[in-house]
Structure 1
Amino acid sequence: MKKTVISIVGALAVFTSGAGSVFADQPQLTASVNEVVGTPYKWGGTTTDGFDCSGFILHIFKTFDVKLPRTSKTQANAGEYVDKDKLRPGDLVFFNTDGKGISHAGIYVGNGKFAHSSSSKGVRISALSESYYEKRYVTARRVVSEEVYDSMTTEKH
């Protein structure tokens, strides 16, 4: 067991050492999300001290100078509707988790996954195909221009 732990720690040290950011050569959206993965959930939170789902979205989109409404319900009316099978990174995805309409939101990051602030686990990446989210998926919205989309998907160096 000790050898395994030492090997893992050693591998992490080698992997994370070197010049530059661990976020180098990643699309800017991915890098922005990765910087806050693990941030705890905080109802009404909009800072790195803690986010609720819509506060997390506001934080990420502020990086790209995109202004959005404050709540997931109002964010679900922003931009243009997009079919689930036409999602691209940066699109917002919405869920009905309380049985009363839109109550949760996240940012599609590609490959069937979305980033969000979960009330139980904080900021994380989940799959749209997870049964919990698949059953509760409601809609998606495209809220960024082509120019902003291009900046989100270019590599951060």
Structure 2
Amino acid sequence: MSAPTIPSVLLSRVAATVALATAALTATIVAPGLTQQASANPVSIRALKIAASKQGSPYRWGATGPYSFDCSGLTSYAFRKAGRILPRTAAAQYHRTRHISASARRPGDLVFFHHGGYVYHVGVYAGHNRIWHAPRTGTRVRLERIWTRHVWYGRVR
């Protein structure tokens, strides 16, 4: 008596289901709001994924990658790899983006932290009020909640 075989059609359906579930889970980890934001700019989404891929890289002032970063070094690296050139500093990046409201923000947009009119930090919006960023000396690139209301948002064109 031979063992029963599983039809190849059923196996391919199972494989497809596993692949789709894995892709959805991966997107949710990189950008928690990504699955709900299908209208986001493909370049910005690529930049978001590139920034997320640098998780754990050490912060180093003035560094632009590929192994260590400061905040604007991470954002300029991610967008350059995704096909857009950004200026070197957070303030210059802010002036190069299209300014948008918090309600219009989407994964892949830039989040600029400011004190008065001075922009001092930048990260890549990942959805659900979180950013990928290189925080400061002694830390590493990480996903973190936005900790203040003193932020502006910009969309890379």
Report the TM-score when normalising by structure 2.
Answer: 0.65
For the 8 Å contact 1:54–1:72, the answer to whether it is kept is: yes
Instruction: Kindly tell me the number of residue pairs found equivalent between the two proteins.
Output: 118
Whole-angstrom distance in 2 between the partners of 1:114 and 1:34: 9
Structure 2 partner of 1:108: 125
Q: Which has the higher contact order (CA 8 A, sep 6+)?
A: 1
| 1:68 alignment partner, SS class | coil
Structure 1 partner of 2:52: 34
Q: Which has the higher helix share?
A: 2
Whole-angstrom distance in 2 between the partners of 1:30 and 1:57: 9
* Aligned with 1:124 (options 142, 145, 148): 142
Structure 1 partner of 2:96: 78
| 1:67 alignment partner, SS class | coil
Gaps of 5+ in 2: 1-21, 28-44
Q: Compare CA radii of gyration and give the structure with the larger one.
A: 2
| 1:63 alignment partner, SS class | helix
Gaps of 5+ in 1: 1-21, 145-157
Q: Which has the higher strand share?
A: 1
Quote the RMSD (CA, aligned, Å).
2.6
State the Cα distance separating 1:114 from its structure 2 match.
0.8
Report the TM-score when normalising by structure 1.
Answer: 0.65
Structure 1 partner of 2:107: 89
* Aligned with 1:57 (options 52, 75, 87): 75
State the Cα distance separating 1:31 from its structure 2 match.
3.5
| 2:85 alignment partner, SS class | coil
Greater CA drift, 38-47 or 100-109: 100-109
Moved over 3 A (4+): 22-31
